[in-house]
Amino acid sequence: MPVIRPMTLDDVRAAMELTGATFDDLSRRMGEEPEPPPPDLDAAALRYRMFVTQDPEGSWVAEDEQGLAGCALATKREGIWGLSLLIVRPGTQSAGVGSELLRRAHAYASDAKGRIILSSADARAVRAYSRLGLDLHPCFLATGTPKGVTAPAGFRVGTADDIGFCETVDRFARGGARRSSIETLLAMGQTLYVLPERGYAFFGEESLRTMAALDEDSAAAVLRGVLSRVTGQTRVGYLDAAQQWAVPVLLEAGLDVRGANGLLFLGGDVGGFHPYLPSGAFL
């Protein structure tokens, strides 16, 4: 059995390599095309570094004679706990390593008021997260090149000066703010879009990374604004059934909506989780 220990900054690169290898293996097993590696490894590393420095109690690795055999990363902000990553090296899976990593990371949620996990469709992950007492929410996905979309008046690129506004919206939509995550997304080069007094979104690497708004009309307007800035193929994922406001916008923009995009697990007080699209990395 590999040794389970707290993650350190020295583990960041190895954890990134293990993440790529694990998800490539999952894609092949599910008959999907593996995703390309991050275009900027230094920027991608900021995600892992944030967890080690901001959430040491939620950051764990498993290590054996071959190096890192697994990694779990969990965050907690204003009482909202989320599991950002749980990976085990292919060939070492189903041997208890993932269960122990999850146990350690989930212990960080002992005083949390709400819990969030975004899961792949892997059956083992679904079983593990269901055992935590979380409710399962199937999600849909939209892909394609937007056409004929007009941004609402006032829609603009945001800056660090807008972080306070993002916190206000997050407290409404997801039950708690996540300042360090917003700061990290900016540092990673993701584009922040703001519709003042209504909502915000992050976009990068051809995907809508996360968005939140104060009401459904505002959420639809923010989504239109983001899609108006896209010139090629894009992806909007992890839309659960509560995000019906997004469907007309996506269809009017000419995107293909499909009924399978992993699973969302929620528990406790996470606000209405609406109107809200979570971030895979920052929940």
Write down the pTM of the prediction.
0.93
Q: What are phi and psi of 32, to 5 degrees?
A: -115, 160
Neighbouring residues of 115: CB distance < 8 A, sequence distance ≥ 6: 80, 81, 82, 109, 132, 134, 265, 266, 267, 268, 270
Q: Which residues of 43-80 are buried (b: 16+ CB within 10 A; e: fewer)?
A: bbbbbbebbbebbeebbbbbbeeeebbbbbbbbbbbeb
For residue 177, the model assigns a pLDDT of 98
For residue 259, the model assigns a pLDDT of 82
Span 114-154, pLDDT tens digits: 999 999 888 888 999 999 999 999 999 999 999 999 999 99
For residue 167, the model assigns a pLDDT of 98
Span 193-225, pLDDT tens digits: 999 999 999 999 899 999 999 999 999 999 999
DSSP string across 153-208: TT-EE--GGGHHHHHHHHHHHHSS--HHHHHHHHHTTPEEEEETTTEEEEEETTEE
Q: Which domains does the chain have, with CATH numbers?
A: 3-112 (3.40.630.30), 141-261+272-277 (3.40.630.90)
